[in-house]
Structure formats: structure tokens, C-alpha cells
């Protein structure tokens, strides 16, 4: 029996995102899949090295209490910012792409692009 915790859920979520990338032709859905993968990674990191009953590593933690590992949580602040930047840039690029090629389908856009060559 695999335990239902943050790590297993995040691995499942990650591959849900990968499935979306492989199986969906829609560009917006591709960008959404990347966001899902990012969320999975964040969930994985924040749930690593957390013992049951530990407290968040913020402020003056009582020495008697067990605090969670602060490093992955600090890393994830950076990754959340990167994730937002990536999604925003991806959507901006998509708007430009849509204006020029008039489609949200990867296949159709690729065909139109190759006609330019």
C-alpha cells in the first residue's frame, strides 16, 4: 500500500502534467500542463523532510519543537516566482502566435509555419 502523502500525490500530478503535454494539441492546455507540473514540483519540495507534527520554520521557533526543513521552502519561493514568469511569458507568446497563425492547435500552427520556408 503506497502511503497517500504529499510526495506520492505530487509525483502523480507531475505525470498528469506530462500526459497533458503529450496528449493535448491545444497550446493553452500545454501551458496549463506546464503549470500543473510546476505545482507538483512545489508540492514535492515543501513536503520533503517534514516530520509529522513539525512546525513551520518561521520566526522564533521554540527549541523544544521540531521545525520543518526550511531550505526547500525557501527554494520554492524562487520557483513560484519563476513559474509565474514562465506562465506569463508563455501566454504572451501565445497571444502573438495566435495573432499571426490564427490557431490554437500545434499541428495547424506547425503546418502554417513551414509554409513560410
Partner 1 sequence: MISLHWLILSPLIIGTTAKLMPIKAAKKIMVLFQTALLAAVTMIFVEVRQNGPLLENIGSWPDTIGITLRADLLATAMVFLSCFLFLAMVIFVHNKNYADHLFFFLFLGLESLIIGIFLSNDVFNIFVLIEAATLIITILIMYKQASVSVYDAMMYFLINVVAMSFFLMGLGMLYKKIGVLDFYALEAALSQVNNPASLILPYSFMITAISLKAALMPLFSWLPKAHGTPSAPSVVSVILSGLYVKTGIYVFLRLQTTFAPLIDTSELFVILGFITAVVGFMLALAQTDIKLLLAYSTVSQIGVIMIGISLNNPAAYWGGLYHLMNHAIFKSTLFLTAGMIISEYKTRKISEIHGVYSHMPAVGVATILSILGIIGAPLFNGSISKFLIATGASGSWIESGLILINLGTIIVFMKYGQLLFGHSDKKEAANSDILEKAVVLTLSMLCFLGGIFGSDLIAILFNISLTINPLSYGEKMLLFVGSILLGLLIYRSLFKKRNPLAFIRSFELGFNEICLSITLFFAFMVVYLKITL
Our CB check for partner 1 shows the closer of 56 and 102 to be: 102
CB of 54 to partner 1, least distance (A): 15
Q: DSSP secondary-structure letter at 58?
A: -
Residues counted in the chain: 117
Q: Of residues 8-47, which lie at the interface with partner 1 (CB under 8 A)?
A: 14, 17-18, 21-25, 27, 30-31, 34, 37-38, 40-41, 44-45
Among 5, 8, 16, 49, binds partner 1 (CB under 8 A): 49
Residue 65 and residue 54 in contact, taking contact as beta carbons nearer than 8 Å: yes
Q: Does the protein bind partner 1 through residue 48 (CB under 8 A)? A: yes
CB of 65 to partner 1, least distance (A): 20
DSSP helix/strand/coil, 62: coil
Q: Does the protein bind partner 1 through residue 61 (CB under 8 A)? A: no
- In the numeric block, which cell numbers belong to residue 23? 496528449
Query: Going by C-beta distance under 8 Å and a sequence separation of 6 or more, which residues neighbour residue 87?
Result: 31, 34, 35, 38
Amino acid at each position: 500500500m503506497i502511503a497517500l502523502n504529499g510526495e506520492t500525490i505530487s509525483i502523480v500530478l507531475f505525470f498528469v502534467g506530462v500526459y497533458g503535454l503529450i496528449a493535448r494539441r491545444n497550446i493553452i492546455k500545454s501551458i496549463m500542463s506546464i503549470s500543473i507540473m510546476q505545482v507538483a514540483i512545489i508540492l514535492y519540495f515543501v513536503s520533503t523532510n517534514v516530520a509529522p507534527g513539525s512546525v513551520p520554520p518561521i520566526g522564533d521557533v521554540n527549541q523544544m519543537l521540531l521545525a520543518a526543513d526550511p531550505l526547500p521552502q525557501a527554494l520554492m519561493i524562487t520557483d513560484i516566482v519563476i513559474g509565474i514568469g514562465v506562465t506569463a511569458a508563455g501566454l504572451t507568446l501565445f497571444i502573438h502566435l495566435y495573432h499571426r497563425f490564427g490557431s490554437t492547435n500545434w499541428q495547424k500552427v506547425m503546418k502554417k509555419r513551414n509554409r513560410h520556408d
